[in-house]
Structure 1
Amino acid sequence: MKREINSTVYILASRKNGTLYTGVTSDLVKRLYEHRNGLIDGFTSDYGVKRLVWFETHDAMDSAIVREKRIKKWNRQWKIELIEAENPEWDDLALAFGFEPLPALSRERAGDGFPLSRE
């Protein structure tokens, strides 16, 4: 019997129209926890990209990976249109999974090309 995996492609943002990150996971809630708590070193923690603004589930991981790779190749405007088609206000969709609201960041720390310091 094939094990069922809840494969999800997702987009995180630092804020509305801020820095974007596209990823794929078999456990969205766990991955959100890791991003929101800085447990994943790299781009998302460097630029404060933690707000879930778009996601879609797939029946199989291979189709989710194909979709993620396609979206990553898209230009920024196409990604913004994808987000705004379902989430025009860029609400943090992670709240529906029981996460607390993220604290507001100053513009300098909001993912506008300024890496967050790791002090």
Structure 2
Amino acid sequence: MPVYKNEQRGTWFTTFYYTDWTGTRKKKKKEGFTTKREAQAFEREFLERMAGTCDMKFSSLVAIYLDDCKSRIKASTLYTKTTIIEKYVLPYFKDTAINKITPTNIRQWYY
């Protein structure tokens, strides 16, 4: 994972290529990280989100879902959805891979 230090600012940045949903290859650059680890984590999560595989984290799927909802629903509805998801669902399933969530996990969370 290519991560570089901006000597003038004293911050870290990452630059990498990815393939979007249309199949075109694009370059992504993100700056302003205080640590090298933060920059690497951003790159890893971004590539995981763009890949859209079943082993992505539940929190990444929620981020994709909420980004999609922004253009389709009212702001008040989006706020309600975001609040419910962040307050009740994410604390339990946040770091779980999607393919590891079973009906038993959902029942345990529900009760």
Q: TM-score, normalised by structure 1?
A: 0.25
| Structure with more contact order per residue of length (Cα contacts < 8 Å, sep ≥ 6) | 1
Find the structure with the greater CA-based Rg: 2
